[in-house]
Structure 1
Amino acid sequence: MGIKSRLIIMNFLQFAIWGSYLVCIGNFLGRVGLGEYISWFYVAQGVVSIFMPAIIGAIADKFIEPQRLLGISHLTAAVFMLVAAWFGFQATELTLAGEATSIGPIFAAYCLSVAFYMPTIALSNTVAFSILKNRGFDTVRDFPPIRVFGTVGFIAAMWLVNFVGFGGSGVQTELHEGVETLALVPMASQFTYMQLIVCGVLGLVLGLYAFSLPSCPIDRSAAAGHKSLAQRLGLDAFVLFKQRKMALFFLFSMLLGVSLQITNGYATPYINSFAATSESWFAENPTLLVSVSQVSEALCILLIPFCLKRFGIKIVMLMAMFAWVLRFGFFGIGSTESIVGIVLLFLSCIVYGVAFDFFNVSGALFVEQEAAKPMQASAQGLFMLMTNGIGASVGTWIAGKIVSHYCDWQGGFLVAREGVAGGWSATWLVFAGYALVVGVVFAMVFKYRHNPEALGNVKH
């Protein structure tokens, strides 16, 4: 098997692991009476993203070859996720017996799992770049077609857990006087904890597979060996805050990062909530509908080079910010109860590609262009810290509070809270309003002169 094919398999599994639970774990938590803690699971992912990638990266730089560390990290993450699945099974049994479940065991095992998984996202890129370079490939030309299979893997895992029922369709029927009707009943019997087992099994497969990959030698040169602890942890990039332009960019990256995990945590419970009041194929298959977002993401990557060259980083970032407004806004007025409502949900998923890619990918390109070469890796780490670390953690925590204010779990569905006006629509419109304010302020205060030639020389 060719080396590109082997790296394609690595990327496919890397993101299939994530896709197996990221957008549907909320349904599982709701089914076992832990719906109020959904935000905790996404906050934990953001918190570990603040420090674990830097620590694992430093180890890979000095002590353990990246492909071996990739295998060790995945095996460790997989074991903890399987432990979480075991506690999930116990929670399911307790729920079916009408007893209360505890957040502690599941949450602890989950946190340890994501602590070792999140660093592998960057580590897998390191492995791919090292192997391609060692074999004389052009990473600019040859890596993107390999990386796109990561998104394919994410989508494939979402479809798998959806079609086999592990994502939680959230609908049951019962016979009443000979007529089949919808029933608001506990849904734990749908084995939604199985999504965690899928994640763990895929992690074990990739963990073992990583040890078969070609060696990625550690750079033991004098230059590499003389890096300070601050440099190894990416702390030297904070000097960029002395530049007003970069300080504003990182600040708004954090503010926009608030939006990143909100729909991952609450999109499927929201779409699933319509199954409580009406029959709809889309309400019964929320994970499949949300997967349209990832399809859009894969396609929108292809638009970024053109848009950056034509419009510049400020306009592209504004496109992303206002795409988030539409992402949330379409959710706020969409539903599965009418053709128009379904179209609006599809439009929300389609604009997600612009919202996510134009922000993350173009932001990374901007950082590479503006940061000095010796600290480019640290600057990229700082960008990830501000967005997926601090921003996503704070945003998901706040989102949990807002959702809990407007909605409540009833019979396995997250529905409008009695006595509180607005329900799900108000929740999404609050998020849309936030994204709109961030976009408008960014347009007014961020000053940047577009230079098409400079962006045209960016290598990644």
Structure 2
Amino acid sequence: MSIKVRLIIMNFFQFFVWGAWLITVANYWFGTKGWDGAQFGAIFSTMGIASIFMPTLCGIIADRWLNAEKLYGILHILGGLTLIVVPMVNNPISFFWVILVAMVFYMPTIALSNSVAYNALKKSDLDVVKDFPPIRVWGTIGFIAAMWITNLSGSKASENQFYIAAIAAVFLGIYSFTLPKCEPQRETSENKSFIKLLGLSSFKLFANYKLALFFVFSMFLGAALQLTNAYGDVFLDDFKLNPIYSDSFVVKYSTIIMSISQISETVFILAIPFFLKHFGIKKVMLISMIAWVLRFGFFAYGNPSEGLWMIILSCIVYGMAFDFFNISGSLFIETSTDSKIRSSAQGLFMMMTNGFGAIFGSVVSGYLIDHYFTTATGKDWHNIWLTFAIYSLVIAIAFAILFKHKHNPEEIKETITH
């Protein structure tokens, strides 16, 4: 079996595990359990809490002491076993803690999967920027497959979504031990500093103005990603409160409608090498930010009848918004840092996006929605999405002004070792 096929299988199940429950957990929380909506935001903050320390910590472990593919497998097996426990929980506080443990095991695997893939491709003398996106696209396909299986099997609001995710996680954990070795890049010098001894060298990247600024904006864009993950499916499902739309396709199959976003990803992932080569990371990130503005703006004015095209178009531009930020950002970090800190650098990127970004997005959006956009009749989705769109526009303008990066089409790679 070729290395590309082996990495495709890894990426498919990496995001299948997440897609089986991430988009539909709100239906389980509100519909099946009937728990308080004010506490729901805490569930999405678990990803942020786990991402603050786990991706960086696990990246350091992979860079210093343990093969990345082995650590990756151990984490998935432990995460799968934790997901099996989720349906046994019968109160929101315990649910939060179990999900937090599951996320502690899952979130670092995203960065580790990138490190394992990049290492395997380089060992096979393949071009990371050119060959990784067509492999990574299968992660999105896995996410879509999980969403569809969850929705069409009638598991959208049941505990089965967690069992589906658990089985996939344990399988992936076992499978990962067959992947090419991604060994730690140990220092040979006997005169190691305390920082290097602990594997904390990646934090020096914050001393580089361009990378530090990139990490900060990654945090703000990470917040936008969590907004759409947390509220997208609930937004569509809430149309059932309007008698005009209560029996619409959008309400019945909200998860499938949302999966258009992931289908769109499969197209834009493949376009990343072209855009990075011709426009560079700054313009690609700016395109992503404008796409976020459109994502939220179309949601603000869409509905299941005459405004259906806006909902669909919002899902389509999501592919560009997500990929041009998340995948391009990961490639930028990979090609802009030393190989000795490759896993921990990816962990830092995860910490800023899915860690601080997720917490910032969850806390601020939860406060704003509860205090300014919730009435006795429900949530004011129109103004919620408009607020998010304005937020994304402000971030785009600030990024365009502050982030300085001269693109060289002949040499994407810039190695920063100090």
TM range (shorter): 0.7 to 0.9
> Residue 426 in 1 paired to residue 391 in 2?
no
Report the Cα distance in structure 1 between the residues aligned to 2:16 and 2:353, rounded to whole angstroms. 22
SS of residue paired to 1:312? helix
CA–CA separation in structure 2 for the residues paired with 1:50 and 1:354: 25
Q: How many residues align?
A: 409
Q: Which position in structure 2 is the counterpart of 1:448?
A: 405
Distance 1:226 1:33 in 2: 59
Gaps of 5+ in 2: none
SS at match of 1:440: helix
> 2:223 & 2:295 partners in 1: Cα distance?
14
Partner of 1:65: 67
Q: Give 1:260's aligned residue.
A: 225
Alignment partner of 1:162 out of 124, 132, 151: 151
Structure 1 residue 2: deviation in Å? 4.7
Taking a change above 3 Å as real, the CA distance of residues 128 and 358 of structure 1, as seen in their structure-2 partners, is closer
Quote the Cα distance in structure 1 between the aligned partners of 2:118 and 2:382.
44
Partner of 2:54: 52
Superposed CA deviations along residues 284-311 of structure 1, whole A, max 9, x for unmatched, are 1111111111111121122222223333
Amino acid paired to 2:148? W
For 2:121 and 2:283, the matched residues in 1 are separated by 33
Name the counterpart of 1:296.
264
Provide the residue aligned with 2:273 in structure 1: 305
Q: Which has the higher contact order (CA 8 A, sep 6+)?
A: 2
Q: What residue ranges of structure 1 are gaps of 5+ in the alignment?
A: 92-101, 169-191, 408-415
The aligned counterpart of 1:111 is 100
| Contact 1:300/1:357, CA 8 A, preserved across alignment | yes
Matches within 5 A, 1:78-93: 78-87=80-89, 91=90
What root-mean-square deviation, in Å, do the aligned CA atoms of Structure 1 and Structure 2 show?
Answer: 2.8
User: Secondary structure of the residue that 2:405 maps to in structure 1?
Assistant: coil
Counterpart residue number, 1:138: 126
Q: Which residue is 2:312 aligned to?
A: 346
Question: Shift of residue 57 of structure 1?
Answer: 3.0
1:121 aligns with 2:110: yes
* 1:360 aligned residue: 326
Q: Is the 8 A contact 2:288 2:321 kept in 1?
A: yes
Q: Does 1:194 align with 2:160?
A: yes
What is the CA distance between 1:215 and its match in structure 2? 5.8
3-state SS of paired residue (2:181): coil
- Residue 81 of structure 1: how far off its partner (Å): 0.9
Answering whether residue 403 of structure 2 is matched by residue 435 of structure 1, we say no
Alpha-carbon deviation of 1:118? 1.3
Is the 1:12–1:152 contact (alpha carbons within 8 Å) kept by the matching residues of 2?
A: yes
Per-residue deviation, 1:271? 0.2
Aligned to 1:389: 355
Question: Where does residue 269 of structure 1 map in the other structure?
Answer: 234
Contact kept in structure 1, 2:20 and 2:146, CA below 8 Å: yes
Q: Distance in 2 between matches of 1:270 and 1:224?
A: 56
Q: Secondary structure at the match of 2:42?
A: helix
Equivalent residue letter for 2:73: G
Distance 1:436 1:127, change over 3 A: closer
C-alpha distance in 1 between matches for 2:198 and 2:239: 46
1:403 aligned counterpart, secondary structure: helix
Q: Matched residues in 2 for 1:372 and 1:198: separation?
A: 38
Structure 1 CA distance, aligned partners of 2:100 and 2:45? 10
Question: Post-superposition shift, 1:402?
Answer: 2.4
**CA shift in 2, pair 1:379/1:223, >3 Å:** same
Cα distance in 2 between the residues matched to 1:258 and 1:424: 18
> SS where residue 223 of structure 1 aligns?
coil
Cα distance in 1 for partners of 2:61, 2:204 equals 23
| Offset at residue 321 of structure 1 (A) | 1.1
Name the residue aligned to 2:141: 152
Residue 5 (str. 1) matches residue 5 (str. 2): yes
Quick one: distance in 1 between partners of 2:267 and 2:248? Answer: 28
Conserved 8 A contact 1:29-1:37: no
Q: Tell me if structure 1 keeps the 8 A contact 2:266–2:319.
A: yes
The structure whose Rg is larger is 1
Q: Which residue of 2 aligns with 1:43?
A: 45
- Report the Cα distance in structure 2 between the residues aligned to 1:299 and 1:307, rounded to whole angstroms: 13
Tell me how far apart the structure 2 counterparts of residues 107 and 61 of structure 1 sit (CA, whole Å): 31
| Equivalent residues of 1:58, 1:232 under 8 A apart | no
TM superposition score normalised by structure 2 = 0.88
Inter-CA distance 449–129: structure 2 relative to 1 (3 Å threshold)? closer
2:19 corresponds to which residue?
A: 19
Residue in 1 aligned with 2:188?
Answer: 223
1:55–1:233: 8 Å Cα contact kept in structure 2? no
Candidates 402, 413, 417, aligned match of 2:375: 417
Deviates most, 235-244 or 150-159: 235-244
Q: Is the contact between residue 65 and residue 215 of structure 1 (CA under 8 Å) also seen in structure 2?
A: no
On the 8 A contact 1:83/1:109 being kept in 2, the answer is yes
From the superposition, tell whether residues 103 and 233 of structure 1 become closer, same or farther in structure 2 (CA, over 3 Å): farther
The code of the aligned residue for 1:149 comes to W
